[in-house]
Amino acid sequence: MPAQADNASKQPPLGFGAPFVEGYRASGVLLHLTSLPSPFGIGDVGPSGYAWVDRLAAAGQAWWQLLPLGPTGAGHSPYQALTSFAANPVIISPEQLLEDGLLKPTDVEGGDFPADHVDFERVIPFKRSVHACAWENFRRAGSSELRAAFEQFCDEKAPLQEEPALFMALKERFGGKAFQDWPAPLARREPGALRQAKRELAENIEQFKFGQFLILRHWKALKAYANQKGVRLLGDLPIFVSPDSSDVWANPELFLVDENLNPKVMAGVPPDYFSADGQLWGNPIYDWEALRATGYRWWIDRLQARLEYLDAIRIDHFRGFEAAWHVPAGAPTAASGHWVPGPGAHFFDKLLSALGGLPLLAEDLGMITPAVAGLRDQFKLPGMRVLQFAFDGDRGNPHLPHHYTHNCVAYTGTHDNDTSLGWYNTRSDAERGRLWNCLRRSSGEDGEAVWGLVQLSSSSAAALAITPLQDLLGLDSAARMNIPGRADGQWLWRCPENAFAHPSWDRLLQITRRAGRSQLPGPVGEPLPMPAVPAATHEEIGRRAYLLWEEAGRPQGRDREFWVQAEAQCL
């Protein structure tokens, strides 16, 4: 393993762009911002964010991965945001507003929230009242420095803030209804109706923009602090947008929608081993020809807006850029869909030119064809490997750690997986045995299986190893963040108040150092053992040796030496 001094010299620049530089090794932790501890019911851009960065840095971690941060609608899924160009107002920090002189301590009293989960029904009204109070205090007695900064924000961000601000104000006026159900003149954006709405809702619009100003101001300060500590922020971006979003409302020409502004076709994935009907997501799909005619301006703006407060971005469902599964509107399942090509390399060429680099991670899980892998590799984008998918008995499984390449990110699990302890508790004896064999051990306790996964990802060739906090804390399925396909009761988990002092952090630092991934000076210790390659069965060896004989033209007079060489290649 590389020494600490060598690894430090191979840090990517803060303006990270794919691929990872040769020799780079680092690790990080996955934790959504809303899961941070806070006295106000939900994690936010306040003191707990700084304490979290300190905790990561002290454990030698170089990356904090988050989920999307946009304003959410029904179900509170961060992957169904109401706009691509604003942050969720619930992440405004009351403590930061106190520090800014926009609130008094009495303004934030009276909140009583559970510590182990987000109660959105109580958090949202509380944060709205805090936001409104800060706005009123700002209007009445805001400092000249803060006023000048807000004016500058409005001037610089006007092109991207006006539509989300008006959309959110209208959505509040109409009781949260989908924009397709608003009065037709507003749904269809008739100029006269828009002008009238802007006049009538001017106060609401300015208040929303003020909230966005505060969030960006506080978040950029947190990012600067994290970067100074050697921690980078890896965000997340869904490829598709919500059908009820300012994105579709303000830009219907960029989406395949009908005369009523509803999707003509819906995004999803086809039937597979896990689902006979496939998955029907319901998102509208892009009109890529219309986007191409604009030079993909909307997409470039979308990425640039995020890169103001992130160092790199994971793009969800990367395969949709090569081809997307189009399901006819009204179809009961995804089974009737078909593949339609996406923008492919032309899109990424334009991004590369506009951004000057591609600070992107490709979520390449699921049905990945050679064409999808080729698109990813053409632009040297890191892909993902997830250990929970590795132990099905297929020696060619790309999630087995001995198959990892350097330019990828290794995970024990993701936000869509069960916690690793919950996963292990539901595995068959055969699958558990394959995990222990990969660890070169006969067996072990359930909790040790979780640390075994952490060890496997850390010791792998992947440039970056990411572990969800739930796994570091050894939590079971009750701490799961999301169950795909289930709408209610998701995205609620919050980490315990004592999580930052948990003894697991010392063990993580030890593993990180032994794997040559630590960003801290100090003793490295014994290198971690590399994962064992699963043993092939006699049947598998014989089958593959026969295929080699076929490829060799079926030579006659085969002797023992030929078969020994063939078996050696199979092993």
Active site residues: 316, 363, 416
Residue with tokens 């169904």: 80
In three-state form (DSSP H/G/I as H, E/B as E, the rest C), the secondary structure along 418-470 is CCHHHHHHCCCHHHHHHHHHHCCCCCCCHHHHHHHHHHHHHHCCCCEEEEEHH
- The values of phi and psi at residue 255, to 5°, are -130, 155
Q: Where are the alpha helices (DSSP H) in 251-396?
A: 288-293, 297-306, 345-355, 370-378
Q: Give the Cα separation of 343 and 328 in Å (integer).
A: 20
Task: Yes or no: say if 65 and 49 are a contact pair by the CB < 8 Å rule.
Answer: no
Is beta strand 323-328 parallel, antiparallel or unpaired with respect to 408-411? unpaired
Q: Give the Cα separation of 81 and 68 in Å (integer).
A: 8
DSSP state of 387: G
**363 Cα distance to chain centroid:** 9
What is the Cα gyration radius of the chain?
25
Burial class from Cβ neighbours inside 10 Å (0-12, 13-18, 19+) for residue 184 reads: exposed
Q: Give the Cα separation of 467 and 48 in Å (integer).
A: 19
Q: Where are the beta strands (DSSP E) in 24-117?
A: 26-30, 63-65
